[in-house]
Amino acid sequence: MHLAHRPLVITALSSAVLCAALAGCAPRPAERGASDAPGATASCAPGELATQVPGKLTVGTDKPAYAPWFADDEPSNGKGFESAVAYAVAKELGYDRDAVVWQHTPFNSAFAPGAKKFDFAVNQVSISEERKKAVAFSSGYYDVRQAVVALKSSKAAKAKSVADLKDVKLGAQVGTTSLDFITDLVEPKEKPAVYQRNDFAKSALKTGQVDAIVVDLPTAFYITGAEVPEAEVVGQFAASPGEPEQFGLVLDRESALTPCVSGAVDALRKDGTLAGLEKEWLSDAVDAPVLK
């Protein structure tokens, strides 16, 4: 309750009581939610997290939910690397499987400015300084490399270097680091094709509208192994100097849960859980030639 508009009867108050009354003119901390105050310290104790829905953990991801990150387009089944990671993080935070609620969150919406309706989102979102201006990230849960996929009959399939890709028509999903690699690293002579979803990019590849598409390496191997068998992984881009590109869980920029979620990811990396899940769900993503 705010006391700013309550009249004070000064003559009836001692100086000590007057101090207490004046102190009441400021909003009381208890009136603000734990996630409302920037930099608020959250309790990471099980059952004490200031989640969107008390007692529940709301996790956002896109739809369709692609393999090998998810299986059967059903994030809640626990299958696929990112579904398994989400449930492992939830367990580390003290939430059992029944307490996890999945919410459809389009890829670009996950890291767009504005308040979020999820506690964290998991959707192959690479951590970047630019995105940190709008959202917060957990510690990285997967080190990722970008790769080129082309039809075996395409001229792009013969590429051995980044320079060999300058004369081919490339495509990628909008808002991705895959697209950044095309525009910033390859710098092709022809403007790249940009698609709202990877499904559209794959269709364009199949029909020859583009010579090649750029996706993350596990997705590249899944596309060529299960979805477009007439295509092949041409190669992967070399790791950027310095810190590796990593996927991170996305949170509201002011979320008080960020240190808790990062702590959970760090614990899962330390005890080998992340490595085990990577081996289980991404083992088919073998090495590909590096495009120099």
Q: Which residues contact 37 (CB under 8 A, 6 or more apart)?
A: 29, 254, 256
pLDDT on residue 285: 66
Mean pLDDT of 176-192: 96
Question: Which DSSP state fits 227?
Answer: I
pLDDT on residue 43: 79
CA nearest to 124, candidates 270, 289, 292, 285: 285
What gap in Å lies between CA 136 and CA 148, rounded to an integer?
Answer: 29
172 pLDDT band, cuts 50/70/90, is: very high
Sign of the torsion angle spanned by Cα atoms 113, 264, 243, 212: negative
Q: From edge to edge, which strands make up the β-sheet containing 231-237?
A: 193-195, 170-173, 212-216, 146-151, 231-237, 290-291
- Write out 167-222 in H/E/C secondary structure: CCCEEEECCCHHHHHHHHHHCCCCCCEEECCHHHHHHHHHCCCCCEEEEEHHHHHH
Q: What percent of the chain has pLDDT over 70?
A: 85
pLDDT in tens, 52-85: 999 999 999 999 999 999 999 999 999 999 999 9
Question: Which DSSP state fits 276?
Answer: H
pLDDT in tens, 202-261: 999 999 999 999 999 999 999 999 999 999 999 999 987 778 899 999 999 999 999 999
pTM: 0.81
More confident residue, 289 or 242: 289
Buried b (16+ CB within 10 A) or exposed e, 28-45: eeeeeebbeeeeeebebe
What gap in Å lies between CA 258 and CA 262, rounded to an integer?
Answer: 6
pLDDT on residue 21: 36
pLDDT on residue 134: 98
pLDDT on residue 138: 98
pLDDT at 269 over 60: yes
What gap in Å lies between CA 93 and CA 184, rounded to an integer?
Answer: 38
41 pLDDT band, cuts 50/70/90, is: low
The answer to whether the CB of 150 falls within 8 A of the CB of 232 is: yes
